[in-house]
């Protein structure tokens, strides 16, 4: 019997992936790893094993990974301060006898890509390759879910302020990332990289059109420099490091690093990814 593990299982992506995986395998084949096992009591009640594991505690990880064959490492959210934790998890997985690691990464994790999350992801991918374990990299595009607030704000104000220029972004729903991860988990061994994207690469004009549909009138796209974008976010109350991180995604989009559209979601799951427009429609009052 193959045993599948998921780290960060109490997070949004972890929960969605667990639910997708439940449609494919039996509960006794699943192990959920989290720093707070009590948060997953509902899954334990369904017969799924929940274990404590902390990326800052190598001993806890080795115990948590024991008996797992294929392990999904969901990247932690501490941008710039997560690589050592990821390396700890990789080393613990090898000691525990895990045969195959899956990792949630980012599109085009190359030195040229200015997105602020790239260094962590690129180094983690390399550490997994160096481990000698089997690997699958799930390079998730930006979440479509994360664009809903911006679209609604643009609808309210009549303006969409951006530093993405004419770039395009293949936004993908978190649910589709989860479905793809669950499908990749149950596939046979063999190293692979998947670009997990939505069905189309959208421009800021496309986002403004979606906002205009909510507003009932046109929404203007306001193009600004990276520096002005950061300044605007800081003036609206965001800490400067977070503002710079968000701006870096606009820069990466403008330079073409986020525009790849792939068929990976459909290839893995048999069902095409949902467009951002349908996700937006689901969130609006009827």
Please state the rounded mean pLDDT for residues 167-173.
Answer: 98
Q: Which helix (H) or strand (E) holds 267?
A: helix 264-269
Alpha-carbon distance 62 to 53, whole Å? 8
pLDDT of residue 285 exceeding 70, the answer is yes
Position 110 pLDDT exceeds 70:
yes
pLDDT in tens, 200-220: 999 999 999 999 999 999 999
Q: What's the pLDDT tens digit per position in 225-249?
A: 999 999 999 999 999 999 999 999 9
pTM value surpassing 0.85: yes
- The number of C-alpha atoms within 13 Å of 70 and in the hemisphere containing its C-beta is 23
CB-count burial class (<10 Å; 0-12, 13-18, 19+) for 92: buried
- Cβ-proximal residues to 156 (8 Å cutoff; 6+ apart), any chain: 215
Nearest CA to 207 among 249, 256, 149?
149
Burial class (CB in 10 A: 0-12, 13-18, 19+), 121: buried
Positive/negative CA dihedral, 234, 237, 241, 244: negative
Mean pLDDT of the chain: 96
Backbone angles phi, psi at 216, to 5 degrees: 90, 10
Tally: H helices and E strands in the chain: 12, 9
CATH domain 4-141+173-197+261-273 topology: Rossmann fold (3.40.50)
> In this structure, are residues 193 and 260 in contact, taking their beta carbons and an 8 Å threshold?
no
- pLDDT value at residue 80: 66
């Amino acid at each position: 019997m193959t045993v599948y593990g998921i780290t960060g299982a109490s997070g949004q992506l972890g929960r969605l992936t667990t639910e997708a995986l439940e449609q494919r395998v039996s509960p006794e084949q699943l192990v959920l790893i989290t720093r707070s096992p009590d948060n997953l009591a509902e899954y334990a009640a369904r017969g799924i094993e929940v274990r404590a594991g902390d990326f800052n505690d190598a001993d806890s990880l080795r115990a948590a990974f024991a008996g797992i064959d294929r392990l999904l490492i969901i990247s932690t959210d501490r941008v710039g301060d997560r690589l050592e934790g990821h390396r700890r998890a990789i080393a613990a997985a090898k000691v525990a006898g895990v045969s195959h690691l899956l990792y949630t990464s980012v599109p085009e994790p190359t030195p040229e890509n200015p997105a602020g999350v790239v260094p962590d992801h690129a180094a983690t991918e390399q550490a997994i390759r160096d481990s000698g374990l089997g690997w699958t990299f799930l390079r998730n595009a930006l979440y479509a879910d994360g664009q809903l607030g911006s679209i609604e704000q643009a609808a309210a104000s009549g303006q969409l302020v951006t530093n993405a220029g004419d770039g395009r972004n293949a936004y993908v729903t978190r649910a589709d990332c989860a479905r793809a991860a669950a499908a990749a988990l149950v596939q046979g061994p063999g190293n692979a990289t998947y670009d997990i994207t939505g069905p189309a690469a959208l421009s800021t004009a496309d986002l403004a059109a979606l906002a205009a549909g909510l507003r009932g009138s046109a929404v203007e796209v306001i193009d600004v420099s990276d520096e002005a974008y950061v300044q605007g976010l800081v003036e609206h109350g965001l800490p400067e490091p977070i503002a710079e991180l968000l701006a870096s995604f606009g820069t990466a989009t403008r330079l073409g690093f986020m525009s790849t559209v792939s068929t990976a979601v459909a290839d893995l799951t048999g069902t095409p990814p949902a467009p951002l427009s349908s996700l937006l429609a689901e969130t609006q009052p009827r």
